[in-house]
Chains A and B, each alone.
Chain A
């Protein structure tokens, strides 16, 4: 990169401008990725953090995609899942977004109904009995409630038995935990017979492919807890929109980088002709030009990623950004690779520059 590095130093204004554009595009992409991940966490953390590996949905139609808003499992289905070989644990889980109130005010919450003594409760939680409610930290804060206080969940008065150590959110609302019996008033409202809805899904812990075997027999649709994120209505819409925006931004950045190096290559066509006339091979020139693009991209993407990493930590907790390797390093690597692809298409014109042009007077 004998000439490339000296070009960078010599035309520092032009390259600084281009690097600044890449920094901003990278910041946008990585920040958007962090925001997407943060919003996804706010929509689905209560599901993905469940101590279960599969969820069985019972949808109204046989071809319906799993959705928490439409699924209703019966007591019979729950019991039949318990008997499926390879299923170590099967517990009903009710999910219903509703309104909660306390002496301090009201808040939107999602009530998770589980059997008394359920292992689905977050680790370290106090026992949950009928008439009691367990609050996630955000719910406790919004309701300004402490153990011993009385809150209403979907109109049912319950006593706060404690607060969980970890945050749990569903569809951007904090989660509160009740017994399935109390949850009936909020969600299923069945009469208690085997054919009445008892909960939203059955949470399964499996040791082999028991989940696949049970669906046909029980009449449910089973997905992993990770796949179950798509069953949260808010997640699917947000995630698709934000991921599409990221994709457009990455494609735009590749176009911007490609356009810059296209103009840059045209402007130095005469120099390339001279270099070829002096004996530079096309391979040497392509390596030089791509090396230059790699330096600009690496520096620009590096600073843009750093900006997101630092900015993410400075933002208030109310902005749901999740800065980690998958939201910074992975998109950054994608930007470098696609940017290099854009630059490669642009600098390929080097192969068509005729060294004969060096003999021209000007």
Chain B
């Protein structure tokens, strides 16, 4: 299903006045494609990602998955948690792996959070670890993995529940250019395979060749509407058309 951000505005209190972090932004990310959200620091891209993740309620606007409204300004914390649990995969800027869990357990945790036995996702977890190239490190803890391996495990963790939406925050910020490109390639190809509508936030346009579309934010405004990098997404659809 497609991810729709409909007229999202996010205003923070700033002392006696307010600060508009995101200003009436609309964006659609079709299923199975990756849209990169570009912009300098402070442009509002991470704030928009936080809204899409249900970590911050929008001041106005709504987040939809297909025709279903997922998040609005009045969405409760519990509903936002369910949104993340049931529909979302998140890759954080830092890998954010739990120190006490092995790579495989980081993925099995996903099943446990949903009240299922970890073993029910073991096969899928191993497939994903294989897909990101760390299958041989499945039983190692984060301290025994390199930075790149941790990032790959984090990507596999975000996808283990086959989420409808994948949100990725600055995945290349700590990597050199070549590795950054490979990570974006990996995310883009996995998004295609799993059908996840993927929104990837980055400030580095040089690593974004593999993505399907890009959009640019500046001062909270969508400066350029989502522009396709390619003419067609898998399935022959046009991708990342501006919404609203």
Contact = CB atoms under 8 A, between A and B. Distances in A.
Nearest to B100: A10
Contacts of A281: 78, 81, 85
Contacts of B114: 279
B110 interface: yes
Contacts, number: 78
Given A279-B113, A359-B50, A11 B100 contact: yes
B98 interface: yes
B53 interface: yes
| Residue from B101, B105, B108, B113 with most neighbouring chain A CB atoms (10 Å) | B113
Contact of A358 (B56, B92, B99, B113): B92
A6 interface: yes
A362 B94 contact: yes
Given A10-B100, A271-B98, A359-B50, A284 B93 contact: no
A280 interface: yes
B139 interface: no
B204 interface: no
Contact of B100 (A6, A274, A358): A6
Interface string B98-119: 1111000100111011100010
Contacts of B170: 361
B81 A276 contact: yes
B92 A277 contact: yes
A3 B98 contact: yes
Contacts of B173: 361
Contacts of A3: 98, 100-101, 109
A232 B59 CA distance: 74
Interface residues of A, number: 26
| Residue from B49, B55, B56, B88 with most neighbouring chain A CB atoms (10 Å) | B55
A356 B47 CA distance: 10
A277 B109 contact: no
A278 B93 contact: no
Contact of B93 (A2, A354, A361): A361
B90 interface: yes
A295 B229 CA distance: 54
| Residue from B84, B98, B112, B141 with most neighbouring chain A CB atoms (10 Å) | B98
A208 interface: no
Given A277-B53, A279-B81, A6 B105 contact: yes
Interface of B: 46, 49-50, 53, 55-56, 78, 81-82, 84-86, 88, 90, 92-94, 96, 98-101, 105, 108-110, 112-114, 118, 141, 157, 169-170, 173
15 contacts: A2-B112, A274-B92, A274-B96, A277-B55, A277-B90, A279-B82, A279-B85, A279-B113, A356-B50, A358-B92, A358-B96, A359-B50, A359-B55, A359-B169, A361-B93
Given A2-B109, A359-B169, A361-B173, 19 more contacts: A2-B105, A3-B98, A6-B101, A271-B98, A271-B99, A274-B98, A276-B81, A277-B84, A278-B85, A279-B81, A279-B88, A280-B81, A281-B78, A355-B55, A358-B55, A359-B46, A359-B49, A359-B53, A361-B170
Top-4 shortest CB links A-B: A279-B85, A10-B100, A2-B112, A279-B84
